[in-house]
């Protein structure tokens, strides 16, 4: 067949998905010429290189080196540079992942040059258009020729938008393939114990709604420091959040003497998985961690008002609490007292989603 295929990796949440799909596509067909395209949206070693190393993703065939910038500028830089990379290689298809700016920008560059777009994690909707990710999802799906969906709500959302038929395939969650593959290696690390903690909660925050407004950020950090006196909390801090803390002058609060409140650098994949697996609870605004905690059976207090991953609330372990202090406190108490759903087994989140992606992709290519 010899078809050229680009897989676009841009930001941290893409990497676990790219790893699984790259492996499955390579195993399914030796005839594909697969090129990893890194946009450079995330560039710090701990947001980036360490994931490529741990997850066995080959080095990018092309690196667009766009870095950070305002929404429009970052999107425009990817559009311009990926267009040039397409013209140089003429791929048959561009596979994009998730909902980050790199997903939208590379899909747009591809489709304008007549290159088919394949979207892994299609159809998810938060119905909140103030989130950049929601715009990225809507536009990417409208441009895609093959839409590979992780949970049933995605199929229903796409049908409502008039996207249905054989181009839409429910394949399951490729991120869980990576979780299952790495689980044993992660368990051996015992990161929590290495920090001297027998019991703890894990915190991550980076969404604009939680970290961009100084008053909200301060309220949340004060609450977390307070909760950490009940259950020690480990907080690997995203660079965006670190920057907001600095701008708001809140560094003092982070290190205000509560030794039970441990702020650390962003963690590599396995270290984070190790901490998450053994945590009593997770407090997060990450979409990926809502899914991972559901599979691990760990209570997930989700600091968002909406989720594009409703199955994690309806059948998993996630509860939406926004950034409302009283709701967070109540959820924290419930999780510690054990009055929390254990989560069901989610169909197709079984560690074999990426091979289903590969089969669907090859069928579509040959059709």
Using the CB atoms, write b or e for 198-219: b if 16+ within 10 Å.
eebbbbbbbbebbbbeeeebeb
For residue 32, count CB atoms less than 10 angstroms from its CB and return exposed for 0-12, middle for 13-18, buried for 19 or more: buried
To the nearest whole angstrom, how small is the minimum distance from the Cβ of residue 309 to ligand UD1? 12
Q: 248 — phi, psi (to 5°)?
A: -85, 0
Tell me whether residue 70 or residue 338 sits nearer to ligand UD1 (CB atom): 70
**Range list of β-strands (E), 174-332:** 201-204, 233-236, 261-264, 281-284, 300-302, 318-320
Applying CB under 6 A, the residues found at the interface with ligand UD1 are 11-13, 41-44, 47-48, 68, 99-101, 132-133, 206, 238-240, 243
To the nearest whole angstrom, how small is the minimum distance from the Cβ of residue 239 to ligand UD1? 3
Single out the residue of 295, 296, 319 nearest to residue 307, CA to CA. 319
To the nearest whole angstrom, how small is the minimum distance from the Cβ of residue 358 to ligand UD1? 25
To the nearest whole angstrom, how small is the minimum distance from the Cβ of residue 207 to ligand UD1? 7
Longest dimension (CA), the chain: 63
Please work out, in degrees rounded to the nearest 5, the angle formed at the alpha carbon of residue 293 by the alpha carbons of 287 and 297: 155
Single out the residue of 230, 234, 228 nearest to residue 205, CA to CA. 234
Active-site choice (22, 42, 119, 206):
206
156's CB contacts (< 8 A; 6+ apart) are 123
To the nearest whole angstrom, how small is the minimum distance from the Cβ of residue 347 to ligand UD1? 25
Q: How many CB atoms lie within 10 A of CB 168?
A: 20
The conformation of residue 346, written as its DSSP 8-state character, comes to P
CA distance to 79, 139, 339, per residue, from 237 (Å): 29, 30, 29
d(CA 230, CA 128): 34
Cα 207 off chain centre by: 12
Q: For this structure, is 206 an active site residue?
A: yes
d(CA 149, CA 357): 9
To the nearest whole angstrom, how small is the minimum distance from the Cβ of residue 96 to ligand UD1? 12
Tell me whether residue 25 or residue 245 sits nearer to ligand UD1 (CB atom): 245
Tell me whether residue 201 or residue 266 sits nearer to ligand UD1 (CB atom): 266
Cα 355 off chain centre by: 20
Tell me whether residue 160 or residue 247 sits nearer to ligand UD1 (CB atom): 247
d(CA 188, CA 193): 11
d(CA 158, CA 307): 16
To the nearest whole angstrom, how small is the minimum distance from the Cβ of residue 303 to ligand UD1? 13
Residues belonging to the active site: 206
């Amino acid at each position: 067949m010899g078809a050229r295929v680009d897989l676009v990796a841009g930001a941290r949440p893409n990497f676990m998905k790219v790893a699984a799909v790259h492996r499955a596509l390579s195993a399914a067909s030796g005839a594909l010429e697969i090129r990893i395209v890194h946009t450079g949206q995330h560039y710090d070693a701990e947001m980036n290189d360490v994931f490529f190393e741990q997850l066995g993703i080959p080095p990018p065939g092309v690196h667009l080196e766009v870095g950070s910038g305002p929404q429009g500028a970052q999107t425009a830089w990817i559009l311009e540079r990926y267009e040039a990379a397409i013209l140089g290689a003429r791929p048959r298809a561009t596979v994009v992942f998730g909902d980050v700016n790199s997903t939208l920008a590379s899909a747009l560059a591809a489709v304008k040059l007549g290159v088919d777009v394949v979207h892994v994690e299609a159809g998810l909707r938060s119905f909140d258009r103030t989130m950049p990710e929601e715009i990225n999802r809507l536009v990417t799906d409208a441009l895609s020729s093959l839409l590979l969906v992780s949970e049933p709500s995605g199929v229903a959302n796409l049908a409502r938008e008039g996207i249905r038929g054989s181009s839409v395939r429910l394949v399951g969650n490729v991120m869980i393939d990576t979780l299952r593959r790495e689980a044993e290696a992660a368990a051996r690390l015992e990161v929590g114990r290495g920090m001297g903690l027998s019991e703890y909660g894990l915190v991550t925050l980076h969404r604009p709604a939680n970290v961009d407004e100084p008053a909200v950020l301060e309220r949340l950090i004060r609450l977390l420091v307070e909760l950490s006196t009940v259950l020690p909390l480990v907080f690997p801090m995203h660079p965006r959040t670190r920057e907001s803390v600095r701008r708001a002058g809140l560094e003092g609060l982070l290190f205000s003497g509560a030794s039970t409140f441990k702020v650390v650098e962003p963690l590599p994949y396995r270290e984070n998985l190790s901490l998450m697996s053994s945590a009593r609870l997770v407090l997060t605004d990450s979409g990926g961690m809502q899914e991972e905690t559901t599979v691990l059976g760990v209570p997930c207090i989700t600091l968002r008002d909406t989720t594009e991953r409703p199955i994690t609330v309806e059948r998993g372990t996630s509860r939406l609490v926004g950034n409302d202090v009283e709701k967070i406190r109540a959820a924290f108490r419930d999780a510690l007292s054990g009055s929390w759903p254990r989560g069901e087994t989610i169909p197709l989140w079984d560690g074999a989603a990426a091979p289903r992606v590969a089969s669907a992709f090859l069928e579509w290519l040959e059709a």
